Structure 1
Amino acid sequence: MRRRISMLAGVAALGLTLAACGGGGETPAEDSNAQDASGNVGVFTWWADGSEKAGLDALVKVFGTDYPDVTFDNLAVAGGAGSQAKSVLAAQLKAGNPPDSFQAHAGAELQDYIDADQLEDLSSFYTDNDLTAQFPADLVDRLTVDGKIYSVPSNIHRANVVWANVEVLKKAGIDPEKPAEDLEGWFADMDKIKATGTIPLAVAGSWTQVQLFENILLASLGAEGYNGLWDGSTDWKGAEVTDAIKAYEKALSYTNTDRDSLSDWAPATQLVQDGAAAYNVMGDWAEAKFAQDGDKPGVDYVYFPTPGTEGVFDFLADSFTLPKGAPNPAGAKAWLTTIGSAEGQAAFNKVKGSIPANTTAKTDDFSEYQKSAIADFGQDTIVSSLAHGAAVPVAWLNDLSTAVSKFGGDKDIDTLQSSLGDIGEKFAK
């Protein structure tokens, strides 16, 4: 089945002051080869803590075996989805002070950097490493912009997943193995949970609320209507979007009152693990946290697509680039070689909770969830995540995030919808 992945090209932006982050010389990127790599390679990510850091560590271990003469410099900056890092990286790139490689989300986020001529073309790198034969053809197509490829995806994540505490559901009289089929049924289950005195739905601040909003949009509009929001074929000011915003307002009514004080995703997921909340809508990096903390699927927690989104895979991917002016382009290409390899992707994704973009990676020992995600990715309708940069460029996401955050306080449906409509008209093509 031909996969439908709505992507323009990888990656977002992150940041830190990047003085002397690489160890290369003056060799131009196009003349640099991974086999000649030495010195230090500075790699910028937001995988600074917890299960995400564990995934990075697993990848760095493979890199160290692949390239023992190259020293990995970890330039990680904390903040889920790169929320604390992107603006700083943008400034560093503009100032001509890039790292050797940086993490970002595959998709429309990268377009701003392509337009600014800040990234090297990796098309020949794909050819040299036979990546076009190892990655899904549609994925390569969507990574290609004007005949060129600018990033190497390290994984495939799913953003429309609900994680639920088994004991909390049973206490409320809800069968953990039979999730609601739509939002109406899910809200009815949350009413039951609320009656027990437990928080029905855990969420944090900033981007996690945008991710919840995108899930409600997807459940309310369906894949076609959701996709239409990004190309202008769905009217942001139409009645269907009004209904979706009302559903989002209701979803927020079930959430923890301290949501805006939780700066990242992990504390919200922890509420579910601790039994303080029933549900958390989160990407499948949460699977890695459950596993790292010793929780057992089916016993301690269950997972399922956000009600109303069964058969749809809300896609995002972490991807890596070679910025123009990288201090050590040969070292960067060595890093990208490990990123794209079957061995690197197997080691990284097993720990990260995601699934490999490289179809030759061995996944026999992956978790039950990951195997289900591999199957779903192969058969579901694929849409692009809003909160994680696959669907829209950075400027659009920033404006939309501001509007959604404001709504969390004032609950003004008309104002939010009007703002979203104006933003859509400004950016949609």
Structure 2
Amino acid sequence: MQRRLSLLAGVAALGLTLAACGGGSGTPSDNNKPSDATGKVGVFTWWADGSEKAGLDALVKVFNADYPKLTFDNLAVAGGAGSQAKSVLAAQLKAGNPPDSFQAHAGAELQDYIDADQLEDLTGFYQANDLTSQFPKDLIDRLTVDNKIYSVPSNIHRANVVWANVSILKKAGLDPAKPATTLDGWFADMDKIKATGKTPLAVAGSWTQVQLFENILLSSLGADGYSGLWDGKTDWKGAEVTKAVNAYKKALTYTNSDRDSLSDWAPATQLIEDGAAAYNVMGDWAEAKFEQDGKKSGTDYAYFATPGTQGVFDFLADSFTLPKGAPNPDGAKAWLATIGSAAGQAAFNKVKGSIPANTTAKTDDFSDYQKSAIKDFSQDKIVSSLAHGAAVPVAWLNDLSTAVSKFGGDGNVETLQTSAAAIATKFAK
């Protein structure tokens, strides 16, 4: 269990092994500078369109300026939260055909790749680029597995955010600046919205429902109880979890009837923009969509922590790896150097809606939301997102996602709890 605890609870030691990355054929040379690399760098992501693609484009612009001898090869595969991309990537890695670098969520999601011996150890890279002093300790803790680090985060996202349509709230007699602070209070507000004929809560299919589920769990159980679901300290069959699952069941009664037909997050967030729904629980990539679509904070939309989660930051981070057998490992290290740099993170996160992992990045021109997230991350209690790979490995998430999806149809609380408990037992180490 110790290895997972270092990912989930953020208690890993910071005495990082300073050995060079890998060795032998197909591994990067620590004697080569990234500026000496040439050729193409194939980078695999799920940032294929919309605000996510805009963020990638901003990052690539910095990379091209940093390393003019290298050519960025965009290997993006569309699919919200990487659901489609991860399947494609798994097939490529199994076939021994890795890209030079691939996107993955920092945290437990990386565990399967580590166990399969598919990633280079980047602790030497961190030392060479002085990243341990530029990234927050909480983040370094969550990146560390057995005193090694295997990815470079490009950002920090928050998953426990509610985005709201200001006009709908006002018409329901609600003050957008004074949101509910408990689930019961929020449900009461949704009843008022429902009475106006509007959809209270917008959600899409698959992983967006898992993200709503994790938010309800976090609100109901608190930070420690929620984190205990992943390290075995909280009983999935316990009374408190029963109460949380019932709250999730109630939350679903406020959602749009076409939720399962919406394949990704953007259409659900669009319902907020269009004035068709009042609330959307979504990560702060939604901020980038609002900005890109010309919506104004405080006028068109409002945001607040999911009721009951104030003072808690539900964390995830997009990060990039160096796969073993990468065709151009030194070029990949150049890409990783841009990913971790202050300039790269400032350009990327300004567009992406997230906040820089690198604390030296300039953020003076960031949005009000982003500035609030920077402050909150520095002082809130940090927990790891379920839906976005920070809390549990991919296989665990996939099985639990199936159980949550089934619950969306049958609403059987006991079945969901029993399934979740069995899944936790299956994957616990």
Q: TM-score range by the shorter chain?
A: over 0.9
How many aligned residue pairs are there? 410
1:309-342 C-alpha deviation (Å, 9 max, x unpaired): 0000000000000000000111101100000000
Q: State the distance in 2 between where 1:270 and 1:220 align.
A: 28
Hey, which bits of structure 1, 4+ residues long, moved more than 4 A? none
Equivalent position SS for 1:260:
helix
Q: State the distance in 1 between where 2:141 and 2:221 align.
A: 26
Shift of 1:80: 0.9
Q: State the distance in 2 between where 1:336 and 1:185 align.
A: 45
Q: Could you tell me which residue of structure 2 aligns to residue 29 of structure 1?
A: 28
Q: Could you tell me which residue of structure 1 aligns to residue 247 of structure 2?
A: 247
Q: Return the letter of the residue paired with 1:371.
A: K
**Mapping for residues 325-364 of structure 1, pairs under 5 Å:** 325-364=325-364
Q: Could you tell me which residue of structure 2 aligns to residue 46 of structure 1?
A: 46
1:381-428 C-alpha deviation (Å, 9 max, x unpaired): 000000000000111101100000001111111111111111122223
Q: Return the letter of the residue paired with 1:122.
A: L
Structure 1 unaligned residues grouped into runs of 5+: 10-25
Equivalent position SS for 1:319:
strand
**Mapping for residues 1-400 of structure 1, pairs under 5 Å:** 6=9, 28-31=27-30, 32-400=32-400
Q: State the distance in 1 between where 2:391 and 2:84 align.
A: 20
Q: Return the letter of the residue paired with 1:117.
A: D
Shift of 1:94: 1.6
Q: Could you tell me which residue of structure 2 aligns to residue 403 of structure 1?
A: 403
CA contact (8 A) 2:8 2:108 kept: no
Shift of 1:176: 0.5
CA contact (8 A) 1:343 1:361 kept: yes
Structure 2 unaligned residues grouped into runs of 5+: 1-6, 13-24
CA contact (8 A) 1:6 1:390 kept: no
CA contact (8 A) 2:40 2:331 kept: yes
Q: State the distance in 2 between where 1:41 and 1:7 align.
A: 32
Inter-CA distance 94–296: structure 2 relative to 1 (3 Å threshold): same
Q: Return the letter of the residue paired with 1:28.
A: T
1:185-217 C-alpha deviation (Å, 9 max, x unpaired): 000000000001100000000000000000000
Shift of 1:136: 1.4
Q: State the distance in 1 between where 2:48 and 2:156 align.
A: 19
Q: Return the letter of the residue paired with 1:293.
A: D
Q: State the distance in 1 between where 2:222 and 2:368 align.
A: 27
CA contact (8 A) 2:45 2:102 kept: yes
Equivalent position SS for 1:212:
helix
CA contact (8 A) 1:7 1:391 kept: no
Inter-CA distance 8–101: structure 2 relative to 1 (3 Å threshold): farther
Q: Return the letter of the residue paired with 2:44.
A: F
State the TM-score, normalized to the length of structure 1: 0.94
Equivalent position SS for 2:118:
coil
CA contact (8 A) 2:100 2:326 kept: yes
CA contact (8 A) 2:286 2:353 kept: yes
* Identity score, percent: 82
1:156-176 C-alpha deviation (Å, 9 max, x unpaired): 000000000000000111111
Shift of 1:5: 6.9
Q: Return the letter of the residue paired with 2:265.
A: W
Shift of 1:95: 1.4
1:256-311 C-alpha deviation (Å, 9 max, x unpaired): 01001000000000000000000000000000000000000000000000000000
State the TM-score, normalized to the length of structure 2: 0.94
Equivalent position SS for 2:188:
helix
Q: Return the letter of the residue paired with 2:327.
A: P
Shift of 1:88: 1.8
Q: Which one is further off, 27-36 or 90-99? A: 27-36
CA contact (8 A) 2:8 2:227 kept: no
Q: Could you tell me which residue of structure 1 aligns to residue 419 of structure 2?
A: 419
Shift of 1:8: 9.5
CA contact (8 A) 1:6 1:391 kept: no
Shift of 1:27: 5.8
Q: Return the letter of the residue paired with 1:423.
A: I
Q: State the distance in 2 between where 1:193 and 1:325 align.
A: 55
Q: State the distance in 1 between where 2:138 and 2:215 align.
A: 24
Shift of 1:78: 0.6
Shift of 1:138: 3.1
Shift of 1:143: 1.4
Q: State the distance in 1 between where 2:227 and 2:323 align.
A: 30
Q: Return the letter of the residue paired with 2:366.
A: F
- Alpha-carbon RMSD across the aligned residues, in angstroms, is 1.4
Inter-CA distance 341–5: structure 2 relative to 1 (3 Å threshold): farther
Inter-CA distance 317–7: structure 2 relative to 1 (3 Å threshold): farther
Shift of 1:7: 5.7
CA contact (8 A) 2:158 2:316 kept: yes
